[in-house]
Amino acid sequence: MAETAPTQNTATITSNGLPPNPDNHTCYGEWCGWYTPGSSDDFAGYLHNPYGYNYLLEPMKGAVDYAKNVNSIFTTIEKRVYDLLIHFFGDSNKNHIEGLSSRYRELRTAFDDQLKLIKNCTELIGLILWGADGSHPDVTITEYKTPGGDTITLTVQSICYILITEYIKDENLDKLCALP
């Protein structure tokens, strides 16, 4: 009996040009395959949603939980995050005159002000961490036209993500997340 040569394992491509999606994930990345944003079952989920609640360290989870449960005149964390970001980024004219960097710096200064006044900004950082979590529906705050003519859509997630990564910095999160 003649042996047959092993066949090369080639990926099947579906009619939409992508490999099969047996687990019904919602997104596809060329470098990592199929994934679901915010999912805790694989590394790709973390890479696409590093501030997803499932990936946060304990002090950060505590801040998000604190922000969700704090007594407030607003009933939902969604409303509080939205109102906070509208306050700083909702005025398109001010965004164009002063630039987005100044808006981010002003919001970053709010953390320092809270730390000076009440020695705590757990609720504020909890709101921002919740907003950066890509597993929530993203809400548009405003659009910004760059000096080069490009239009940038500022969303809850994009503003919160940039605020954390470029203005607050990951290394400062533990201090800001300290519970009262």
Q: Is residue 139 part of a domain?
A: yes
Do residue 141 and residue 60 come from a single domain? yes
The predicted structure's pLDDT at residue 4? 47
Find the domain containing 149 and state its range: 53-176
pLDDT tens digits, one per residue of 71-92: 766 578 888 899 999 999 999 9
The predicted structure's pLDDT at residue 70? 79
Do residue 110 and residue 129 come from a single domain? yes
Do residue 57 and residue 44 come from a single domain? no
> Are residues 100 and 144 in contact, defined by beta-carbon separation less than 8 angstroms?
yes
Q: Between 52 and 124, whose confidence is greater?
A: 124
Q: Is residue 4 part of a domain?
A: no
- Per-residue pLDDT, averaged over 38-66, amounts to 72
Sign of CA dihedral 49, 168, 89, 84: positive
The predicted structure's pLDDT at residue 95? 93
Q: Is residue 143 part of a domain?
A: yes
Distance between the two ends of the chain, CA-based, in angstroms?
Answer: 77
The pair of structure tokens assigned to 40 is 């805790």
Q: Which residues pair with 143 in a beta bridge?
A: 153
Torsion of Cα atoms, 56 then 61 then 173 then 95, to 10°:
90
What percentage of the chain exceeds 90 in pLDDT? 35
Do residue 59 and residue 94 come from a single domain? yes
Q: Give residue 94's pLDDT band: very low, low, confident or very high (50, 70, 90).
A: very high
Q: Is residue 128 part of a domain?
A: yes
The predicted structure's pLDDT at residue 139? 92
pLDDT tens digits, one per residue of 127-165: 999 999 988 888 999 999 888 889 999 999 999 999 999
Q: How many domains, in total, are found in the chain?
A: 2
Do residue 87 and residue 132 come from a single domain? yes
Q: What is the pTM (predicted TM-score) of this model? A: 0.71
**The residue to which tokens 């790709």 are assigned:** 44
> Are residues 46 and 36 in contact, defined by beta-carbon separation less than 8 angstroms?
no
Do residue 127 and residue 57 come from a single domain? yes
Q: Is residue 27 part of a domain?
A: yes
Q: Is residue 1 part of a domain?
A: no
Other C-beta atoms closer than 10 Å to the C-beta of 168 total 20
